[in-house]
Every structure is written in structure tokens, then in C-alpha cells.
Amino acid sequence: MKKKLFFSILLSLLTIISKAQGKNLSKLQIRQDLEFLGKILNDKSSYVYLNGYNINENFENYQQNLKDITRLEDFGLFLAQAVGKIGDRHASVRDYDIKDSLFLPFIYAPEGNNVLVLNRNNDKKLELLNSKFPYLKKIDEVSVDNFLQKILPEEFTAPRKTYFTRAVRKLRDIQKVYNVLNKPLPAEIKLTLSDRLLKNDTVLVVSPVNNAKRSIYWDDEFERKYTLVKDEDYNKEEIVSQLFDIKDQIGYIHIPSMVSKDDAPALFEKINSFMKSIQNNSKALIIDVRSNGGGTRDVTYELAKYFVHPDSIYVINATKQRAQIPISKEYSESLHSRSLFSFSELDKNEQKSVKHFLKTFKPMYELDNKKYSEYYFGLLNGKKIANQSFYYNRPVYILANEKSFSAASVFVAVFKNIPNIKIVGTTTDGSSGNSERFELPNSQIRIKISTMVSFQKDGKILDGFGTEPDIAIERNLNQILWKSDTQLEKLRNLILSKN
């Protein structure tokens, strides 16, 4: 027992020492890591080169200016900037340290194209820091717009509203921001606040605060309620019951996460029982996937059986897998798990629908057949999915926002332009990639990339574009300050005005 404890402690110490030594990388180690990463991207990345960005040139230019020793932090930041330009919304660069122990005081929230500066009062309620000068205009004499454009390199190709929301939240992490900008963090920072017309200003000088005094990130209040909820928690009655409601004959289902049927069978049982309960006493239904970070497509197909007429077949997206051709059984099974099938795997009626779809389908990228698979199609076949359900022949409104990501953004794209369904809110953070992860040999930085290109029905890819709403409804100040959910209220009023 003592021997095991000794070796366990020794192993921990060696790991700590190894990581400490790994903070600096030699030229050779950097070159080896970039060669390794370049090969992975060239062989597996589905989005590399599609948007015209040549990451290999970026790697070559970086190596020309290498010093004998490079800090892990600097190398990781370079990789985040380089990989972020590919256009892959699922791509990520992890396990490199950027100093993150000092923060700007206050809370920063997006309002349209402006940045609100907020505070929490003694009752923990949000309020404007300065009601006369609510907007942040400059940071240390640099316009906030210029500032925001540079601080999230890994989000470089995000849809505009998605990038803005994410960047505004990150203003809090000022030490990390200044490291990204390659600027020394001053002891005092000058914040220029402006009035609602952005004409009259006032200046506030603040000092960065430590972790104990940092403010929360701004999020919508409805999102914060489910931040710590795990997938399996959606089996708990006290959580599931909060997600369903009917008021003024308008049904409402809130889906905070695209959980799997295996993880949360109770949620799926509730979806079905709720749909049956509103079958005859509702005039419309709202499905809320705002700030839903994704997961699986199980919820999509569970609800589709109510939204697709039994006599209808819809092609909802077309995808291609990046791989050696013919693709492996593993890739094929992965596509099947997403309910994506090749033309030969479809029945005759589905093939007829696909042929009709392809007559007008104009993908924004023509992909090399030697590097990408044939198309795999997502379909909603009413006859197949309507088992033990009914067709809900009333208006359905899907409420989404710029933080509806991955499988949640697929959910929105799937139902776009389906009869009786309208997309409401703001453009989603579109993404669908069939991701793979690997580790660089020397720096041990972890990289995630997509291996699948997913086209929407209009030919645009999901990544970087998202899905635009049919009915745009933005947050207003009351929603930002957690006083009311005005997007939901406006949608309810809109529905009521039509009935």
C-alpha cells in the first residue's frame, strides 16, 4: 500500500515537472508539431481551404520568424488564430495556458451593436452601471468595436451576431484579452462610457480585479437556470416539468440541451405526453432552443413525427464526409447515427424526392470527389417517422438565437421552410461537423476538427452562416436586465394577434 502511494506521488510529481518543462518549446518541436497538424488537416479536415484561406502558408510564415525558444502560451495562441480562420465552427485548440487571473470589473452585455455596462445591486439584480452613459465606447482610447474584432481569434468565422455576443462577454477577462492582443496589461484602464446617442461621453478609470471580485458573465436569465444541469438531470420531474407550458392556448416546449433519448428518456416521454395533451386545445406551439449548445439529433426526430405530414417527404440537408474513398464502415455508421444516408440506401420514394431536390440544389462549394464521399442526405419521411403519433396541423414557431449551436442549429435548419413552421429570433451559430480530436506530439496541445461538410437546403453550409429567422425578434433592455423574457412575450403576442 505504501509502495503504491509512493509511486502515485512520484508519478504526480513527474507529471507536474514534465508540464512545467513543457512550457517552452524549441524550434524543432514547433516544426514537428506544425508538420503533424498540417498532415492531419490536409488528410481529414472537411473545411480546410474551402473559404480560400491557406493555413499552410500561415504555418510557413510563422516558422520563418521563430525564436530558439517559444512559450507554449504563444504557440497555442498562434494555433487558435490559425485554425480559427478555417471556417470550422467545431474546431478548437485546448491545453495551452494564457494568464487569466485579472478581470475588468462590471458585467458586459450586447444590445444590438452596442455594449452595455452593467452591475449587480445588493439584491443581485442587474442594473445599468450608469443610466446616463450606458454604453462602452472605448477601452484605453481604443474603440470598443476595434477591440472586439481582435479578442476572439478562434471565433474568427462565426456568424456576425454570434461573434459579437461572445466577444462582449469576454471583455471581462481583460488579462487574457491583453495577452491575445500582445499588449501589457496596465495597472489602470480607462473606460469611455457614452450616452444612448453615442455623442456625449464620460471617463471611468478602473483597476483590474482578482478572481474573488470578478463579475459573472452576462447571459440571458433563462439560460443561466440550466448552465449546470447535466443530460441525465432531464429525467428529474422537477426539471422536466419546468420545460412545458400552455397559456392562452399556445403550447410551449423549452429545450435547453439536445439530449439523447438514452440519457433522458423521461424528457422524451414528456414531449410525447405533452403533444397529446395539446392536440385538441391549442392554436399554436413554440419550441424554444435559444442558447442551446447542442448534443444529439434525437429531439429533432422525436418532434418531427408531429410536424411532418404523413404523405410528405422532405430533404432537409446534404452532407459529404472527408475521408479516403470509399469511406470506411466507421464513417458510414457515424453518418447513419445522424440519420444521414447515401442515395442507394434510400427507398424509391425517398430517391424520387432527392432527385427533385438536386435539380435546384446549388451548393456553395463543389467538393473534390477524390477527397469527399458522395452525398449523404437527411430526410423527413412522414410515413416512417409518424409511427404512433399524429400530425400537428397548427402553426409551430421555433425560437432560436445566436447561441443556438451544433445539433440545436441543425434542428433550426431542418425545420426551416417546412409548412406551418416559422423560425423566430436571431440567426443561429450554425455548425455540423462530425468532429475528431487529437493531440500534438510535443506541445500536447489538443485539437478538434470537423470531418464532415453539412449543407443547408439553400446550398449554404451551416458553419459560419447559421440559419436566419423568418421573423426577427431581438432582445430588448428589459430582457438583458432579466426583468422579462421579451422575445418570448413578443412572439406570444404575435401569435395571439393572428388568431
For the chain, list the domains and their CATH numbers: 107-218 (2.30.42), 222-435+450-498 (3.90.226.10)
Average confidence score pLDDT of the chain = 93
What's the whole-number mean pLDDT along residues 143-154? 93
pLDDT for res 367 = 96
Flag whether pLDDT at 8 surpasses 60: no
What's the whole-number mean pLDDT along residues 261-265? 96
Distance CA 425, CA 410 (A): 15
Contact 388, 276 (CB under 8 A): no
At 122, the pLDDT band (50, 70, 90 cuts) reads confident
% helix, strand, coil for the chain, step of 5:
35, 20, 40
Q: How far is CA 166 from CA 118, 170, 413, in A?
A: 16, 6, 22
- Between the CA atoms of 218, 223, 227 and 233, what dihedral angle is there, to the nearest 10 degrees? 170
pLDDT for res 231 = 94
- Which residue has 496541445 as its cell numbers? 445
Contact 113, 164 (CB under 8 A): yes
pLDDT for res 12 = 44
Nearest by Cα to 114 from 136, 143, 147:
136
Helices 407-415 and 298-307 meet at what angle, rounded to 10? Answer: 20
Flag whether pLDDT at 388 surpasses 70: no
Contact 173, 192 (CB under 8 A): no
Contact 161, 402 (CB under 8 A): yes
What's the whole-number mean pLDDT along residues 365-388? 92
What's the whole-number mean pLDDT along residues 184-193? 97
Residue 379 DSSP SS3: strand
Least confident of 21-25, 257-261, 366-370, 456-460: 21-25
pLDDT for res 18 = 42
Q: Which residues have CB under 8 Å from 184's CB, separation 6+?
A: 178
Nearest by Cα to 297 from 335, 269, 243, 242:
335
169 C-beta neighbours (distance < 10 Å), count: 18
At 124, the pLDDT band (50, 70, 90 cuts) reads confident
